[in-house]
Amino acid sequence: MSTIYNFCAGPAMLPQAVMQRAQSELLDWNGQGVSVMELSHRDPSYIALAEKAEQDLRDLMAIPSDYHVLFMHGGGRAQFAAVVNNFLGDGGQALYLVDGSWSSIAADEAEKLVGKTHIDRLNIVNKTDELSQVELPHLHGINKDYRYVHYCPNETVDGIEIFDELDSPWPIVADMSSTIMSREIDVSRYGLIYAGAQKNIGPSGLSIVIVHQDLLTLPSLPQSSIMDYRLAVKHGSMYNTPPTFAWYLAAKVFEWLKDIGGVSHIAAVNKQKAALLYDCIDQSDFYVNKVSIEHRSNMNVTFYLVDETLNSVFLEQAKSAGLVALKGHRMVGGMRASIYNAMPLEGVQALVKFMMAFAAEHGQ
């Protein structure tokens, strides 16, 4: 079988070594004679797996001891609601910074739950001549008593990434679904980090929540027990049956990332991959990227063919070359190459080679 490089934004490709390990253990995990997905989450061997997964994640991200790590249901969208329900009781207010599609949807969800009078939105992207430019606000100049400020450091649809640290007088809640562990961050600057698993962690259906213990003292709204962070802490993320196979695969991804050198190593590889692809786009008059250079995503590279009548031909020929899932999000069109941690450098090199050949064949 020829090599296939999967550029899907999510569910995204997993490291080949992890998939091979899971394949070899599928029918008999840990000498149990059964698959890990058939084993009780209360079994001592599974508890040990879960505890190691948490410790590996703590090691990879240097998570301080006063933060709780939760393995939750529902992906990133579930956390849009959970954050509101856990922290905005008793009339609490929050600020939502909007830099793309997902941060806007998160704000929509918050408004639906507590009403627009309790949620302030601040658009932090200017678009001039079809170029997206992020402008981080001076939050200390806002005279409001917010419970938290929410933002999304990497917008998968729009190909925008915020690399600068946000300076905030209120706890920062960050949706890091598509950027977690892709580069080093200082976890202590955040009140809460959440991430859907299906990009840099594992399969869909699982989400990771990293929350400072002080936020759990805030008043909550009435909510379902399954999304209550306090109950999740109390029960070790096992208030009910968790997505055990997804948790297992996440644990394998954490092991893989530690084995290859950790976040600092993968961050260097990610920068190399992104630079290679953006250089290809910039050096050609056949392709164009519409994000300011300083805010171009290292994870989701969006680009357009100058002649968009060639889009379908580009996608068909790319697929034939083993380069799949390059179609841009339906809301913005164009192309998108998602190059998360699991995408090897060779995959980006293959894409660049194809793009240069396609431009040479179809260019004027």
Rg (CA), the chain: 21
3-state secondary structure (DSSP) of residue 193: strand
Question: Backbone phi, then psi, for 58, in 5-degree steps?
Answer: -60, -40
Q: Catalytic annotation on 102? A: yes
Q: Catalytic annotation on 247? A: no
Catalytic residue among 99, 175, 247, 256: 175
Catalytic residue among 29, 102, 170, 247: 102
Give pairs for 139-143: CB < 8 Å, separation 24+. Answer: 139/95, 139/166, 139/167, 139/168, 139/169, 139/170, 140/167, 140/168, 140/169, 142/95
* 78 sits in which H/E element: helix 75-87
3-state secondary structure (DSSP) of residue 133: strand
Q: Catalytic annotation on 234? A: no
Confirm if 354 and 324 have CB atoms less than 8 A apart.
Answer: no
Upper half-sphere CA count for residue 153 (Cβ side, 13 Å): 24
Distance of alpha carbon 27 from alpha carbon 252, whole angstroms: 16
Q: Is the peptide bond before 222 cis (omega within 30 degrees of 0)?
A: no
The answer for residues whose C-beta is within 8 angstroms of residue 258's C-beta and 6 or more apart is 56, 59, 60
Catalytic residue among 29, 56, 99, 199: 199
Distance of alpha carbon 19 from alpha carbon 58, whole angstroms: 23
Q: Which residues are catalytic?
A: 102, 175, 199
